[in-house]
Amino acid sequence: MGKYVIAGNWKMNKTPAEAVELIEAIKPLVKDATCDVVVGVPFVDLPAALEAVKGSKIGVAAQNCHWEKSGAYTGEISAEMLKAMEVGYVILGHSERRTYFGDTDVTVQKRMRAALDAGLTVILCVGEYLEQREQGITGEIVAMQTKVALGGVSEEELARVIIAYEPVWAIGTGRTATAEQANEVCAQIRDVIAGLYNAEAAKAVTIQYGGSMNAANAAELLAQSDVDGGLIGGASLKPADFATIVAAAK
């Protein structure tokens, strides 16, 4: 895994046929990418996406996984199942899952354990609500989310964890954090990693920014000292915009 990672989070968009079309459009545009490129697709698109990325360096992510290997969990998908399909990545703890589907720091930790045990690379999302930022507790919130999710994660396993700082107020709103705000919180997260592990691990960990990152603002955000990539929602569905962001990640 490289240090810079640009990942698309397609959310609940695209049928399998549309996923293939989108990947085919992205492929030639990112073939010279110097960063890692990942597309996070709906579960039902995974087989088609895995087939479509063959011959490219694009990785494929699922958008969640359950913590048990199998069992009576109607509607759920396990990390083992993803691994069996040769999915490389899984996004965990996205704010939409926390807000709409009851994910908590503790269930994110359980999913993290299962994903790492299955050999997946995790994109762990953390971030504050607007009220929390206004209260001045952003640092505490992201520190808590990061610490709980990484509970029991060894330094060796940390090499398979990417952290995405996504202020909830910036997701899908067109209201991006300023480059300074993004960098400040990414640096705080890096300090948390230094405290949990050590300075070397903190330096090595990939910390992405996410929240209305687009073709126009990506270069400035990605130029920040502590921003090592992006988790991209809306703009990841537009091949040219996504490719511009990938090109900006040097």
Q: By the 8 A CB rule, do 79 and 115 touch? A: yes
Coil, helix or strand for 247? helix
Which lies closer to ligand PGA via its Cβ, residue 11 or residue 27?
11
- Selected range binding ligand PGA among 53-61, 146-154, 164-172, 177-185, rule: CB under 6 A: 164-172
Interface with ligand PGA by CB under 6 A: which range of 82-90, 135-143, 195-203, 229-237? Answer: 229-237
**Residue from 213, 221, 227, 249 binding ligand PGA (CB under 6 A):** 213
Among 27, 234, 246, 247, which residue interacts with ligand PGA (rule: CB under 6 A)? 234
Binding-site size, ligand PGA (CB under 6 A) = 13
Q: Is 166 a catalytic residue?
A: yes
Euclidean distance between CA atoms 132 and 244, whole angstroms: 32
Maximum CA pair distance of the chain? 48
**Judged by CB under 6 A, which of 45, 103, 128, 166 binds ligand PGA?**
166
Torsion of CA 60, 64, 69, 72, to 10 degrees: -130
Query: Between 171 and 210, how does the x/- string for binding to ligand PGA read (CB under 6 A)?
Result: xx-------------------------------------x
∠ CA 54-83-192, nearest 5°, is 105
Around Cβ 186, how many Cβ atoms within 10 Å?
Answer: 24
* 212 is a contact residue toward ligand PGA (CB under 6 A): yes
13, 237 contact by CB (below 8 A): yes
**Interaction between residue 233 and ligand PGA (CB under 6 A):** yes
The nearer residue to ligand PGA, 13 or 56, going by C-beta atoms, is 13
Q: CA of 163: how far to CAs of 94, 119, 123, 131, in Å? A: 11, 17, 6, 22
**Annotated catalytic residue within 66, 94, 96, 128:** 94
Is 18 known to be catalytic?
no
Choose, from 80, 96, 128, 166, the residue flagged as catalytic.
Answer: 166
Q: How far apart are CA 200 and CA 203, in angstroms?
A: 5
229 touching ligand PGA, by CB under 6 A: no
User: How many angstroms separate the Cα of 14 from the Cα of each of 44, 169, 212, 244?
Assistant: 10, 25, 19, 21
Q: Measured between alpha carbons, how far is 226 from 55 in angstroms, rounded to an integer?
A: 31
Binding mask 9-38 for ligand PGA (x = CB under 6 A): x-----------------------------
Residue 54, φ and ψ in degrees, nearest 5: -55, 135
61 interacts with ligand PGA by CB under 6 A = no
Which residues sit at the interface with ligand PGA, rule CB under 6 A? 9, 166, 171-172, 210-213, 231-235
The catalytic residue positions are 94, 166
